[in-house]
Amino acid sequence: MTTEARQKGRKPAQIVDMSWDPITRIIGNLGIYTKIDFANKEVVECHSTSSLFRGYSVFMKGKDPRDAGFITSRICGICGDNHTTCSDYAQQMAYGVKPPPLAEHIVNLGEAAEYMFDHTIFQDNLVFVDFCEQMVKATNPTVLARAQKTNAPRGDIHGYRTIADIMKAFNPFEGEVYKEALKVSRTTREMFCLMEGRHVHPSTLYPGGVGTMPSPTAFTDYLSRLMHVIDFVKKAVAMNDDVFDFFYEALPGYEEVGKRRIMLGCWGAWQDPKVVDYKYENMNRWGKAMYVTPGIVVDGELVTNNLVDINLGLRIMLGSSFYEDWVNEDPFVTHDPLGNPVDMRHPWNQTTLPVPQKRDFEGNYSWVMSPRWYDQRTGDHLALDTGGGPLARLWSTALNGIVDTPYIKATGHSVRISLPKGASLPETTLEWKIPKWSNTLERDRARPYFVAYAAAMALQFLDEAMGLVRSGDTKVFEDFEVPDEAIGCGFHEAVRGVLSHHLVIKDKKIANYHPYPPTPWNASPRDKFGTPGPYEDAVMGQPIFEENGPDDFKGVDIMRTVRSFDPCLPCGVHMYTGKGKTLSVTHSPVYGASHG
Amino acid sequence: MGSIRVGRAQARPDTPSHVPGIHQGNEGPYTTQRGHHRDGTADARRSTGIDWKQHDVLLDVMPNIPPA
């Protein structure tokens, strides 16, 4: 059922308001308010809203910049380390310090374990609930009947005979895949802790390096755990391909679900220690050397992979958010270190001025702002999405065709990932090909492929890190001084997509600090031009395949679309607790306590 | 800060992170313990084992790395 076909045989609309607030299985008070036309089985309107305000950018002001990584880590309870890493990148630019190569490898290994952990637990324990036997039975019984008769094409890899068998394994709390994924996410979390000390708020990551003891045992412990989960990764990719291919086949037109114009952003992940120097002037060069290549992909074309262009194009818009505009405040940064002008709507110049008010879908309705990327070619403010993270990362890396490592090769149209032999499965090469659409199923499909990507990168980082340890180069920290005045920006990939931290230091204190994680991009409301945010855009106009009517409607197609973005709102909103009460004030170190 | 009301700033970023005369952890015990080198590298003598000063590699072809 294509869009045109739907328009031809239209029936008189039968519109029902349907809302989910808060959406379950995610955190952060995300509400989705829709109008559904049950006669034509289509969503006609969608608003995404958040009722949570946190104000990190407000209370970061005046703090010691060295604390930024530890404070911003608390933005999220699942990807906090991505914030620490990104904050350290921004601070390293501001302090002018480059960590030793072994420290970079340790950070990269920790982040690789985080991607593996988080994608696995989200996909297998949260996303698959929407695709499990029980859910499909309740929403599309005919599809389940067909699944019972359809053989799984990759059954020799994952061991399930029919598609319905896989769906049964997805059942929450009792399915095999569900339980196995919980075990795997424990192992990957252990890998993470070996490198970054603690999950999810790292204790051994600092600007200038790490505090991890680079003992040979730390790396071999990591490697043995990685090899333990490598067959699970190969099976996960095969299982996902089988299930998602089946959905296209069983429900013709399912590609329209959650489909939106291809507008993807990726800020790059994993620094190459041989190239990176954290100088803004060289950001284009070291950005391209990252092991996930940054890029903005519009309509399938690569617009830019230059981090300087990406940085300067950032615009934080208002329009439907509970904030006052900051245009009348003083700018912090008028020009970047290369002399390019910096816009007033850029995160470096943003001032957060919250104005709590009643939710009104005709006016302001969310605490999330509307980040957009200004496209110089057309003058448009693009509402980029992250495709839940993996889709944009793989798409940008594939189109760039730069990454060429012993385990990963970007070909220009695909990404080839080689994984070594595991306990039960042989050496395997997986190939993620650029899909035709940016839609729900492709966002979900990209996730297990990125787990494989992270596993393959981890193998390379281990090789290089152990090489350094064997040569006796165990330096993991570089000293630095905090300058009186400086600016910095960090670009990284949080698990669910783009992450940037923008920092301005004055008098050795934070004068302005703005983290922009993936969910403000994905969950943004309509901006001042009326452009809807990616969730709204993806849900609006999507067909409904659920067989239930308005009375027992579960909204599974809408939930699949929203969850395909890996929504996670704590980072999306910028706490006000009245007068508050101070419990204790401490400041380390003890030897400096007499000061002031 | 515009019209937003915030608490009194309490951070004192000028508090010294190091007091002169006190050993600085990042420096490393270059003069007091063998096995720690000024360029950040270390060898097999960087150990907490028994009689570590003697536990250097026997031959140049052996990997000279700290035990843990």
Place of tokens 């895949």: A177
State chain A's mean pLDDT as an integer.
91
Which residues on B lie below 8 Å from A58 (Cβ)? 1, 4, 6
Higher pLDDT, B1 or A56: A56
User: Using an 8 Å Cβ cutoff, are A186 and A228 in contact?
Assistant: no
Residue B60 C-alpha, separation from nearest chain A C-alpha, in angstroms: 12
CA distances from A482 to A65, A100, A207, A226, B14 (A): 8, 18, 11, 38, 10
Q: Does B32 touch chain A (CB under 8 A)?
A: no
The percentage of chain A sitting over the pLDDT mark of 70, rounded to a whole number, equals 93
- Put simply, the answer to whether B13 touches A58 (Cβ < 8 Å) is no
Distance in angstroms (rounded) separating the CA atoms of residues A399 and A451: 19
Q: Which two three-digit tokens encode residue A130?
A: 């929407």
Nearest-angstrom CA–CA distance, A70 and A80: 9
Does residue B28 sit at the A interface (CB-CB below 8 Å)? no
Instruction: Give pLDDT, residue A166.
Output: 97
Nearest Cα of chain A lies from the Cα of B63 at a distance, in angstroms, of 7
Residues 6+ apart with CB under 8 A from A560: A127, A130, A131, A257, A258, A440, A444
Which pLDDT value is given to residue A526? 95
Interchain contact A585–B (C-beta under 8 A): yes
Residues of A in contact with B13 (CB under 8 A): 63-66, 482, 507-509
Question: What gap in Å lies between CA A265 and CA A382, rounded to an integer?
Answer: 10
Does the CB of B12 have a partner CB in chain A at under 8 Å? Answer: yes
Q: A531-550: per-residue pLDDT in tens?
A: 999 999 999 999 999 999 88
Q: Where are the domains of chain A?
A: 3-571
* CA A139-A142-A148 angle, 5° bins: 110
Report how far residue A367's alpha carbon sits from residue A348's, in angstroms, rounded to the nearest whole number: 20
pLDDT tens column, A77-128? 888 999 999 999 999 999 999 999 999 999 999 999 999 999 999 999 999 9
Pairwise CA distance, residues A59 & A83, whole Å: 16
Which pair of structure tokens corresponds to residue A210? 């790490």
Interface probe for A, chosen from B41, B43, B48, B64 (most Cβ of A below 10 Å), is B41
**Percent of all residues in chain A with a pLDDT value above 90, rounded to a whole number:** 78
Contact A596 B68 (CB under 8 A): no
Contact A437, A335 (CB under 8 A): no
> For residue A53, is pLDDT > 70?
yes
Q: Residues A152, A162: contact at Cβ < 8 Å? A: yes
**What token pair was written down for A456?**
């393959």
Residues of B in contact with A508 (CB under 8 A): 13-14
- Count each helix (H run) and each strand (E run) in chain A, helices first: 18, 17
Contact A63 B11 (CB under 8 A): yes
Residues of A in contact with B11 (CB under 8 A): 62-64, 67, 509
A543 near A41, Cβ under 8 Å? Answer: yes
* Beta carbons of A469 and A53 less than 8 angstroms apart: no
pLDDT at A586 over 60: no
Contact state of B2 with A470 under an 8 Å Cβ cutoff = no
Cα–Cα distance list, A505 to A56, A76, A90, A278, A307 (Å): 16, 24, 11, 16, 21
DSSP per-residue codes, A555-577: -HHHHHHHHHT---GGGT-----
In B, minimum Cα distance to A328 occurs at B2
Q: Per-residue pLDDT for B8 more than 80? A: no
**What per-residue confidence (pLDDT) applies to B67?**
73
Put simply, the answer to whether A353 touches B41 (Cβ < 8 Å) is no
Q: According to the model, what pLDDT value does residue A5 have?
A: 47
Contacts with A220 (C-beta within 8 Å, 6 or more apart), sequence order: none
- At A422 the three-state DSSP class reads coil
Give the separation between CA A381 and CA A505, rounded to whole angstroms: 29
The Cα A591–Cα B19 span in angstroms is 7
Partner-chain contact B12 A477, CB within 8 Å: no
Peptide bond before residue A435 is cis, with ω within 30 degrees of 0: no
Least confident range from A49-58, A474-483, A566-575: namely A566-575
3-class SS of residue A7? helix
Question: How many Å lie between the alpha carbon of B41 and the closest alpha carbon of chain A?
Answer: 4
Which residue of chain A has the CA closest to B44?
A472
Contacts of B10 in chain A (CB under 8 A): 585
The answer to whether residue A575 scores a pLDDT higher than 50 is: no
- The pLDDT value recorded for residue A570 is 62
- pLDDT for A394 equals 97
The distance of Cα A358 from the centroid of its chain, to the nearest Å, equals: 30
Q: What one-character DSSP code corresponds to residue A196? A: H
- Closest-CA residue in chain B for A209? B26
Q: In the numeric block, which tokens belong to residue A509?
A: 């204190």
As for the ipTM of the complex, it is 0.72
Taking the CA of residue A379 and the nearest CA in chain B, the distance in Å comes to 30
Q: Is the pLDDT of residue A2 over 90?
A: no
Residue B7 contacts A, CB cutoff 8 Å: yes
A100 touches chain B (CB under 8 A): yes
Provide φ and ψ at A432, rounded to 5°. Answer: -95, 120
Answer whether residue A579 shows pLDDT above 70.
Answer: no
**Cβ contact A243:A166 at 8 Å:** yes
CA separation for the pair A542, A498 (Å, rounded): 25
For residue A476, the chain B residue with the least C-alpha distance is B40
Q: Residue B36 — pLDDT band, cuts 50, 70, 90? A: confident
Asked if residue A99 has a cis previous peptide bond (ω within 30° of 0), the answer is no
Comparison of pLDDT for B27 and B44, the residue scoring more: B44
Residue A596 pLDDT class (50, 70, 90 cuts)? very low
Residue B63: strand, helix, or coil: coil
Nearest CA to A525 out of A49, A52, A54, A51 is that of A49
* Helix pair A216-250, A141-149: axis angle to 10 deg: 110
What Cα–Cα distance (Å) separates residue A364 from each residue in A33, A355, A382, A533, A576?
14, 10, 20, 14, 19
The confidence score (pLDDT) of residue B63 equals: 79
Q: Is B61 on the interface with A (CB under 8 A)?
A: no
In three-state secondary structure terms, A46 is: strand
A107 residue type, one letter: V
Peptide bond into A200 cis (omega under 30): yes
What mean pLDDT is predicted for residues B30-37? 83
The pLDDT value given to residue A58: 87
For testing the chain B interface, which of A213, A473, A584 should be mutated: the one with the most B CBs within 10 Å? A473
What pLDDT digit, counting tens, does each position of A440-488 carry? 999 999 999 999 999 999 999 999 999 998 888 888 988 898 999 999 9
DSSP A281: G
Query: Any residues with CB less than 8 A from the CB of A45 and at least 6 apart, and which?
Result: A34, A35, A540
Strand partners, A514: A502
A3-571: which CATH architecture?
Answer: Orthogonal Bundle (1.10)
Of the spans A62-66, A215-219, A261-265, A326-330, which averages the highest pLDDT?
Answer: A261-265
Instruction: Please tell me the distance in Å from B53's CA to the nearest CA on chain A.
Output: 17
pLDDT at position A26 is: 67
Tens digits of residue pLDDT in A290-325: 999 999 999 999 999 999 999 999 999 999 999 999
Q: Is pLDDT of B1 > 80? A: no
Q: Six-digit token pair at B51?
A: 């009689």
CA distance linking residue A288 with residue A266, whole number of Å: 12
For residue A574, what pLDDT is reported? 40
- SS3 annotation, A77-117: CCCHHHHHHHHHHHHHHHHCCCCCHHHHHHHHHHHHHHHHH
For residue range A151-172, list pLDDT tens digits in order: 999 999 999 999 999 999 999 9
> Which DSSP string do the residues of A307-333 spell out, in sequence order?
HHHHHHTEEEE-SSBSB---TTSPPS-
Per-residue pLDDT reduced to its tens digit, A375-423: 999 999 999 999 999 999 999 999 999 999 999 999 999 999 999 999 9
